[in-house]
């Protein structure tokens, strides 16, 4: 009987131990990730999301004027696919941790290469790649700490940390133009006979309103390689106009319109861009 009790006890311990280990339960601070493409730069934040849970956060759970891991569990990570400027500080492409020192009037933010820390033990501000100040602002109540992106444009955006009733903005700037021009030069060098490469480059100059003469040369090269695209002729027309030759621009636009209508008719459809081309010619 005694040996049976021992055996039963061992089986019970094994069973309960297995059950506890196999349970899938919600975490107090669930993990999260948010990504945003800014121009040609991918920015990703990986973090844990602690909850308010009826507590006072700022100045209590998170003390003022002390280094904070900026979340729960392991330190929050941020990764940039290209060089950026965040908070006015230059940061090379790569992965970093975000540490902060919250204050009632001002926060200190560190972008640190120390990636393996749990909590703040071992954090060294002197090793930070960038250090900048940020002002906290009132924010709609947010139960779980959240990172989000806003005001995203080709050359910048804002990363915001919000929790409880406070938010902190971290402005990010990227040199998209420099990256784009480098990509154009590389593409042309590697694909000198691809008409699409030249049209893409010309379209970029049109969209940006920069290097218009160079863009006109590129679209002409594209048309030399492939002359049967109505859209290429329309880009040609737009760049002619932007370079001051409205007469030639109208002629090229009419050719684009004729080609587009003929192509659509062959497919038994209406040319959906006819109104757009006609309206642009009227503006010219």
Q: How confident is the model over 81-135, as pLDDT tens digits?
A: 999 999 999 999 999 999 999 999 999 999 999 999 888 999 999 999 999 999 9
| pLDDT above 70: residue 261 | yes
Q: How many CB atoms lie within 10 A of CB 17?
A: 10
Strands (E), 14-135: 31-38, 41-48, 76-80, 84-86, 89-91, 94-101, 107-112, 130-134
Name the residue ranges covered by the structural domains of the chain: 26-173, 176-283
**Spatial separation of the C-alpha atoms in residues 136 and 47, rounded to whole Å:** 20
Phi, psi of 210 (to 5 degrees): -130, 155
27, 133, 271 from 261: Cα distances, Å: 60, 58, 5
What lies within 8 Å, CB to CB, of 162 at 6+ separation is: 139, 142, 145, 146, 147, 148, 168
Comparing 3-17, 24-38, 119-133, which segment has the lowest mean pLDDT? 3-17
* 233, 202 contact by CB (below 8 A): no
The CATH classification number of 176-283 equals: 1.25.40.10
pTM: 0.80
């Amino acid at each position: 009987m005694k040996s049976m009790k021992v055996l039963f006890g061992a089986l019970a311990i094994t069973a309960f131990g297995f059950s506890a280990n196999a349970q899938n339960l919600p975490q107090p601070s669930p993990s999260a990730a948010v990504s945003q493409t800014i121009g040609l730069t991918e920015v990703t934040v990986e973090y844990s999301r602690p909850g308010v849970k009826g507590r006072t956060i700022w100045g209590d759970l998170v003390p003022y004027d002390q280094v904070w891991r900026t979340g729960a569990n392991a330190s929050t990570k941020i990764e940039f696919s290209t060089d950026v400027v965040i908070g006015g500080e230059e940061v090379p492409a790569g992965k970093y941790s975000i540490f902060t020192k919250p204050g009632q009037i001002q926060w200190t933010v560190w972008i640190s290469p120390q990636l393996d820390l749990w909590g703040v033990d071992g954090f060294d501000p002197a090793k930070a790649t960038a250090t900048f100040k940020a002002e906290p602002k009132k924010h709609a109540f947010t139960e779980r700490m959240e990172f989000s992106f806003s005001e995203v444009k080709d050359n910048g955006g804002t990363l915001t940390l919000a929790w409880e009733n406070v938010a902190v903005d971290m402005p990010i700037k990227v040199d998209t133009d420099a990256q784009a021009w480098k990509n154009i030069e590389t593409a042309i060098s590697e694909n000198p006979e691809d008409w699409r490469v030249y049209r893409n480059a010309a379209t970029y100059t049109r969209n940006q309103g920069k290097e218009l003469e160079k863009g006109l040369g590129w679209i002409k090269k594209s048309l030399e390689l492939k002359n049967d695209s109505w859209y290429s002729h329309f880009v040609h027309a737009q760049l002619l106009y932007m370079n001051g030759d409205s007469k030639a621009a109208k002629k090229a636009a009419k050719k684009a319109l004729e080609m587009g209508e003929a192509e659509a008719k062959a497919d038994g459809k209406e040319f959906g861009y006819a109104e757009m081309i006609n309206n642009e010619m009227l503006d010219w």
